[in-house]
Structure 1
Amino acid sequence: MPMTSATLLIVDDENAVRESIAAYFEDSGYQVIEANNGALGLELFEREKPDLVICDLRMPGMDGLLVLKQIMNASDDTPVIVVSGAGVMTDVVEALRLGAADYLMKPVVDLSVLEHTVERALERSLLVKENTLYREELEVRNQELQDHVDRLKLDLQAGRAVQERLLPRFPLEQNGYKVRHNMEPSTYLSGDSVDYFEISPNQFVFYIADVSGHGASSALITLLIKTQIDRYKDEFENNTSDIVMNPGQVLRQISLDLLKTQTNKHATMFYGVIDTSIHRMDYAMAAHFPAPILCFDQQCTTIEPEALAVGLFDDAIYASHHIDLAGFKHLTLLSDGIFELMKEPSLLEKEQRLLELVMQPNHTMHDFLDELRKEGLTKGAPDDITVLTVELY
């Protein structure tokens, strides 16, 4: 079908040929402008910006090859169809080399052939222009996306710096007990949370939380958990509440607070309080996994996960338990991101491997995480990895 909105420029010094072509295309619905020489043709091209040019190659003065060359220099996306006599095929070859879209030999007896050639050239030109526009728009969108990614990286780096400042800066040591942590976030922001602090000369609190997912939204939940527990600590120091000493109550309240955010985020947690004067640990657990590994002089055992993750149900209850730490050696807590980097094929084998590692003399999960780092396995890890240990020397 003819592209009747297109404008054609016909350049030919033979009036009868030019006028017959112009009349034919005007009858077909095209807008047509005419030039009887090359110089005028270039002037009209610059002024009228036609969609296609039909140009005779052999004209006095400025010939068709020079007109074609000037047009290609000015706008290489405007199709030019050259018309040539039978004896000048070398000119046709040169015209095609310069960028002519097509050619026809004189005399053009059937103008419908020329019309078909014009339609085909216009369709190709339209596709080229659309593809060029698409590429330009795509480049703009890609640049905008890259700028957005760069800004996001800066935001995440800033957020990560803030999050790191909220983590314990130094190990906690009290009466022979030592608490320390090691963290490897999967992205700039972590969904794992860990903290420990003294609440009296003979007592300290420690906890680990693994928020569902990771990234900015999970990091905000870790901030909420820390803020709440810090508030309980302040209340204890001000003698207004002792909830910080009751692990089950802490997890219950954290669970309710998460539900109020309506973020559909939940977290597994282990919260412990150790009295170093009587060697006793009170703790509560909210489905924390992997199971904490508790080692005494003669053996290591796991504390099996219980209860539901915090933030799931408003009627969830978390029981407080206590353990006599006579003969205690160390307690190891991990986030489940560690499993992503282990080579063992099954979950059961991975759990057994963790138990074997912890039981090795003078070897800790901190050492294991450092080994994974040296092997480059933590780079681009799919989940956050956190190690929290309590040791008695």
Structure 2
Amino acid sequence: MQLPGTTLLVIDDDAAIRERVANSLEESGFNVLQAGLAADGLALLGRQRPDLVLCDLQIADMSGFELLRQITELDPDMPVIVSSAAGSMGDVVEALRLGASDYLIKPADAPVIEHAVRRSLDRASLRLENQRIRERLERVNRELELHLKELKDDQAAGRQVQLNMLPASPWNSGEYRLEHRIIPSLYLSGDFVDYFRVSDTQLGFYLADVSGHGASSAFVTVLLKFMTTRLMYEQRKQDVAGPVAFKPSDVLGHINRSLIACKLGKHVTMLGGVIDEAAQTLTYSIGGHLPLPVLFAEGEARYLQGKGRPVGLFDDASYEDHTIDLPPRFSLTLCSDGVLDCLEGTTLREKEQRLPTRVAEAGGEMRRFMERLGLDPSRPMPDDISVLVLSRNPA
């Protein structure tokens, strides 16, 4: 049985045939409207809006083709089955060209008519559902484009904030020169570097690699900037004059406690250091970061030693300070682990062994080091990449 509420309109000036067709369709569960003239059928179509029309091509007051044309103009989605006793191929082609969904040769048996009706209704229903899906997809695409634009605008604003937080590159302070390069894998970077003057005789710096990528990781870099700046401000309040007790291990411990308290689900590998210009020493601390810093002096490059847990994961994590004497001329290269993807080798150990060689080949210089690794800031990378080079070349 047809679902209730399906209404058909039969237009035929032969009353006997019209009644017979209407009765058979009503027995099959359809609601059937009847019209003996084309004008009456068009009026019913306007008032009742049936689900399908059956009409004869030979009708008294109007050409069947003209009737078909007017029906499709009133409702382009209306399925129309035409019937004709003539059954010429030319009539069939013309009827289908004008929008008929099917063509029947009179007299047609009741099962044939019912099959044609159900097939045309199914096609119309499928066409309508496809149209709804298409409209829904178009609406979703418009909304997606809008959201993507908003996201892009948000990321552009976030990127600008992140760029504004980064220090100048290069930056010269006394005999020391610091410069950095950051290449994000996405629009925003989870890598961050900073360097600053702690006191008249102290320079501080750090490189951090936040877990993950994108906006959530970039947000943590904002926190890092805030936490280190706040900690340095608090230390300066206590030490009004002279060197400040700004220990790298204390910085890592403070950030570790703060990230755990924030419950962001993010951790950081980082390393930081303070140069004492008066004593010509470097004090540094490692927070689970690889690769380790590479010191280049007198034509040779070697890793500095040290280890420590990642920052923001373990409540009981502690960090150790390491102090070394600085050569008169040197460079110190700090990299995020994304740099290791640019080195030859099948294992992490092989890649790490090659890094000091690349630093030595570059003479500890940023530009040459980037060239040696084939790093291009305009080319997307599989991971965030950051490089910080600190050098001392007295006149």
TM range (shorter): over 0.9
Distance in 2 (CA, whole Å) between partners of 1:223 and 1:25 is: 73
Distance in 2 (CA, whole Å) between partners of 1:379 and 1:361 is: 21
Structure 1 residue 309: deviation in Å? 0.6
Change (3 A) 1:28 1:388: same
Distance in 2 (CA, whole Å) between partners of 1:5 and 1:130 is: 18
Secondary structure of the structure 2 residue equivalent to 1:144: helix
Secondary structure of the structure 1 residue equivalent to 2:140: helix
Change (3 A) 1:351 1:372: closer
Q: Which residue of 2 aligns with 1:162?
A: 161
Q: Which residue of 1 aligns with 2:337?
A: 336
Write the mapping of 1:125-144 to structure 2, written as runs, cut at 5 A: 125-144=124-143
* Contact in 2 for aligned 1:297/1:327 (Cα 8 Å): no
Given the alignment of the two structures, is residue 171 of structure 1 paired with residue 180 of structure 2, yes or no? no
Distance in 2 (CA, whole Å) between partners of 1:305 and 1:10 is: 91
Q: Which residue of 2 aligns with 1:46?
A: 46
* Contact in 1 for aligned 2:281/2:323 (Cα 8 Å): yes
Structure 1 residue 120: deviation in Å? 1.1
Partner letter of residue 236 of structure 1? Q
Q: Which residue of 1 aligns with 2:61?
A: 61
* Contact in 1 for aligned 2:333/2:364 (Cα 8 Å): no
Q: Deviations over 1:147-193 (max 9, x none)?
A: 00001100110111111111112433334221111112222221111
Q: Which residue of 2 aligns with 1:255?
A: 256
Distance in 2 (CA, whole Å) between partners of 1:67 and 1:295 is: 91
Secondary structure of the structure 1 residue equivalent to 2:358: helix
Moved more, 118-127 or 3-12: 3-12
Structure 1 residue 240: deviation in Å? 6.0
Structure 1 residue 308: deviation in Å? 1.1
State TM-score, norm by structure 2.
0.92
Q: Deviations over 1:287-324 (max 9, x none)?
A: 11122111121521113451111011100111111111
Distance in 1 (CA, whole Å) between partners of 2:276 and 2:377 is: 37
Structure 1 residue 86: deviation in Å? 3.7
* Contact in 2 for aligned 1:243/1:249 (Cα 8 Å): no
Q: Deviations over 1:99-156 (max 9, x none)?
A: 2111111112x21221111111111110110010011001100110110000110011
Q: Which residue of 2 aligns with 1:192?
A: 191
Change (3 A) 1:283 1:48: same
Write the mapping of 1:1-20 to structure 2, written as runs, cut at 5 A: 1-20=1-20
* Contact in 1 for aligned 2:296/2:363 (Cα 8 Å): no
Secondary structure of the structure 2 residue equivalent to 1:317: coil
Q: Which residue of 1 aligns with 2:36?
A: 36
Distance in 2 (CA, whole Å) between partners of 1:290 and 1:371 is: 17
Over the matched positions of the two proteins, sequence identity in percent amounts to 44
State TM-score, norm by structure 1.
0.93
Write the mapping of 1:238-253 to structure 2, written as runs, cut at 5 A: 238-239=237-238, 245-253=246-254
Q: Which residue of 2 aligns with 1:72?
A: 72
Change (3 A) 1:8 1:376: farther
Indicate the RMSD between aligned Cα atoms, in angstroms. 2.2
Change (3 A) 1:353 1:162: same
Partner letter of residue 4 of structure 2? T
Q: Which residue of 2 aligns with 1:21?
A: 21
Secondary structure of the structure 1 residue equivalent to 2:251: helix
Structure 1 residue 380: deviation in Å? 2.7
Q: Which residue of 2 aligns with 1:283?
A: 284
Distance in 1 (CA, whole Å) between partners of 2:230 and 2:351 is: 37
Give the total of aligned pairs: 391
Secondary structure of the structure 2 residue equivalent to 1:8: strand
Partner letter of residue 57 of structure 1? L
Distance in 1 (CA, whole Å) between partners of 2:135 and 2:79 is: 21
Distance in 2 (CA, whole Å) between partners of 1:244 and 1:144 is: 54
Secondary structure of the structure 2 residue equivalent to 1:238: helix
Structure 1 residue 343: deviation in Å? 5.6
* Contact in 1 for aligned 2:198/2:244 (Cα 8 Å): no
Distance in 2 (CA, whole Å) between partners of 1:369 and 1:70 is: 73
* Contact in 1 for aligned 2:362/2:372 (Cα 8 Å): no
Q: Deviations over 1:201-224 (max 9, x none)?
A: 221100011000121111111111
* Contact in 1 for aligned 2:80/2:101 (Cα 8 Å): yes
Given the alignment of the two structures, is residue 148 of structure 1 paired with residue 147 of structure 2, yes or no? yes
Distance in 1 (CA, whole Å) between partners of 2:100 and 2:215 is: 56
Secondary structure of the structure 1 residue equivalent to 2:71: helix
Distance in 1 (CA, whole Å) between partners of 2:84 and 2:121 is: 20
Secondary structure of the structure 1 residue equivalent to 2:264: coil
Moved more, 165-174 or 30-39: 165-174
Write the mapping of 1:208-357 to structure 2, written as runs, cut at 5 A: 208-239=207-238, 245-304=246-305, 306-342=307-343, 344-357=345-358
Structure 2 gap ranges (5+) = none
* Contact in 1 for aligned 2:209/2:336 (Cα 8 Å): yes
Partner letter of residue 195 of structure 1? D
Distance in 1 (CA, whole Å) between partners of 2:165 and 2:300 is: 35
Secondary structure of the structure 2 residue equivalent to 1:131: helix
Partner letter of residue 49 of structure 1? R
* Contact in 2 for aligned 1:203/1:276 (Cα 8 Å): yes
